Amino acid sequence: MHLDLNITPIEEWFPGKGKPRLISGPCSAENEKQLLSTATELAKTGNVHLIRAGIWKPRTRPGTFEGVGEKGLKWLQKVKSQTGLPVTTEVANVKHVELCLKYGIDILWIGARTSVNPFSVQEIADALRGTDIPVMVKNPMNPDLQLWIGALERINDAGITKLCAVHRGFSTFDRSPFKNTPMWEIPIELKTMCSSLPIFCDPSHIAGNRELIPMISQKAMDLDMDGLMIECHFSPQSALSDSKQQVTPSQLTKIIDELIIRESKITNKQFENQLEQLRTTIDEIDEEIIQGISLRMNIAERIGEYKKENKVTILQINRWEDIVNKRLSEGLALGLSENFVKGFLKLVHEESIRRQAEVMNIPSEETAVKFEKG
């Protein structure tokens, strides 16, 4: 599916040209000194293009630090005049938007707890109509690409074309080393649907701890994402929110210096030819895989027909365990990972069951006709 958004190219509105495009600053503005010192140190690094700080903090439980509110916007104005860097903050309702516009905040972002709610996003979009302030839309908390797209569409329909998405990971029940599982396939799918839409990565909220930030940042760069948003605090251990995931300005410099920035366009001819050959081989293998799976599913349907005639259940647990064990040991011997082989077999098995159930639940004459037609 193609997603039609009207997007101003990022080069035309994002401040600064360096790679990676970098947004940094504390999770929350806590007091004037904390914000100004952090921002000043960040400006000195020369790596940061836009200073972030949350003024209104959507916290899970009441009674925790919920942000400093309007006075923080004045501190952001000071940051801008003292460092020369533009500033961004999170908006979650119409009042926030109006205040940010009043105080000349340069770029707004919509947080994950707001982009889940179409009513809130629509109200924000309506409040933005007639302005051309850039807006960044974080993915919703839950892994729902349509909801993320919906939020982007609402903002874009209000006439905001300086628009980008921010991938900050998804909240899931699965145990994961990440606070929010990245599920990279979701931003990749978004990019595939709308190649003109810039997508930033927010490694801080994916990781939930500073140790994983370099690895996630590198992955984002290797996926050709358009920039990074990394939380930074001059004293992370005393931060009032997200203290485990914030880094100091010097830690940030190290992370950025160690990133490998690869070219997104291929310029070397010889390399291009070699790559072309490898890609042709991959295409051939993929074709074989798809044909093989299609063949396998047709056979599964025939088995379904026999099971139907003999009144046996679709799921034959011993047979299934046998398949998993055999294929797993083959896969491991061939250098595939256990997770991958198990995940792949699970998908194939689910589809097999679905196809067999279809066959077993239609009258036998129809099944016969279906097989004749292939």
Separation CA 311–CA 302 (nearest Å): 14
Pick the closer one to ligand PEP by CB: 107 or 300. Answer: 107
38, 26 in Cβ contact below 8 A? Answer: yes
Q: CA-based diameter of the chain, in Å?
A: 81
Separation CA 48–CA 29 (nearest Å): 17
Output the smallest distance, CB 233 to Mn ion, in A.
10
Instruction: Identify the residue among 111, 134, 203, 227 touching ligand PEP (CB under 6 A).
Output: 111
Output the smallest distance, CB 166 to ligand PEP, in A.
7
DSSP letters, 148-194, are: HHHHHHHHHHTT--SEEEEE--B--SS--SSSSB--THHHHHHHHH-
242 binds Mn ion (CB under 5 A): yes
349 binds, among ligand PEP, Mn ion, none (CB under 5 to 8 A by kind): none
226 binds, among Mn ion, ligand PEP, none (CB under 5 to 8 A by kind): none
50 binds, among Mn ion, ligand PEP, none (CB under 5 to 8 A by kind): none
Separation CA 15–CA 182 (nearest Å): 26
Beta bridge partners of 31: none
202 binds Mn ion (CB under 5 A): no
**Which residues in 113-132 contact ligand PEP (CB under 6 A)?**
113
308 binds, among ligand PEP, Mn ion, none (CB under 5 to 8 A by kind): none
Output the smallest distance, CB 205 to ligand PEP, in A.
4
Separation CA 306–CA 328 (nearest Å): 27
**Which residues in 1-30 contact ligand PEP (CB under 6 A)?**
27
54 binds ligand PEP (CB under 6 A): yes
Separation CA 337–CA 369 (nearest Å): 41
249 binds ligand PEP (CB under 6 A): no
Output the smallest distance, CB 246 to Mn ion, in A.
8
DSSP letters, 270-286, are: HHHHHHHHHHHHHHHHH
Separation CA 34–CA 24 (nearest Å): 14
**Which residues in 69-98 contact ligand PEP (CB under 6 A)?**
none
Separation CA 341–CA 155 (nearest Å): 41
Separation CA 207–CA 231 (nearest Å): 11
158 binds Mn ion (CB under 5 A): no
236 binds ligand PEP (CB under 6 A): no
90 binds Mn ion (CB under 5 A): no
For residue 50, give the nearest of 14, 13, 93 by alpha carbon: 14
Pick the closer one to ligand PEP by CB: 23 or 300. Answer: 23
Instruction: Identify the residue among 167, 205, 233, 355 touching ligand PEP (CB under 6 A).
Output: 205
27 binds Mn ion (CB under 5 A): yes
Residues in the chain: 374
Q: Which residues bind ligand PEP (CB under 6 A)?
A: 27, 54, 111-113, 138, 168, 202, 205
Q: Which residues bind Mn ion (CB under 5 A)?
A: 27, 242
